[in-house]
Chain A
Amino acid sequence: EPEVTQTPSHQVTQMGQEVILRCVPISNHLYFYWYRQILGQKVEFLVSFYNNEISEKSEIFDDQFSVERPDGSNFTLKIRSTKLEDSAMYFCATLRTTYQETQYFGPGTRLLVL
């Protein structure tokens, strides 16, 4: 069964550093999402991406965040200058079409900002 994959599984970084989280969507999926989950809290929507542009973003997704699909396969989330409160699990999710509404999640990247 096709799966969403994410790398790295864990990332430790110093405050102020840039991080790039990577996702490989399921091959025929067209809609891509990033969510985050702070430890012990619920999953929160960050951003949705379709046709090489952002469809929607949450209040969390400020100017420090960016997404792109640089090579037509990988889908990346970049945090330019990490803050302590960015420590969380980051999940990529993908969706084939809006007529199939089930989003499939990757295993996540655990980001720890020190």
Chain B
Amino acid sequence: GESVGLHLPTLSVQEGDNSIINCAYSNSASDYFIWYKQESGKGPQFIIDIRSNMDKRQGQRVTVLLNKTVKHLSLQIAATQPGDSAVYFCAESMKAAGNKLTFGGGTRVLVKP
């Protein structure tokens, strides 16, 4: 039969509040992690990345935290704006594996005005 699409977890957040999106990655040997934003009908858009030798990296309004002990990645968005409404994917890769990306299941963020 026809496969059923993933049910995306949804985070509803008030405009101006901070958002935290979590991701569990699968491969303890992964050495590079990326957060992508995907708007409807568009390709994944790079937000921020972090290498495995770091545990925190900050960008403009975004922070990524990496906990290798429990294979957990999070994305924090400060002062969430309506334009932040999208699906967010984490992705992991290994340089030794040609940098192919393995994507997580995604989280839908809905920003309420």
Contact = CB atoms under 8 A, between A and B. Distances in A.
Interface of A: 4, 31, 33, 35, 38-45, 48, 50, 55-56, 91, 93, 95, 98, 101-108, 110
Interface string B23-67: 000000000101010000111111001000000000000000000
A105 B45 contact: yes
Interface string B1-37: 0011110100000000000000000000000101010
Interface of B: 3-6, 8, 32, 34, 36, 41-46, 49, 89, 91, 93, 95, 97-106
A101 B5 contact: no
A39 B32 CA distance: 26
Contact of A41 (B5, B45, B91, B101): B5
Contacts of B89: 42-43
Given A91-B44, A102-B34, A43 B103 contact: yes
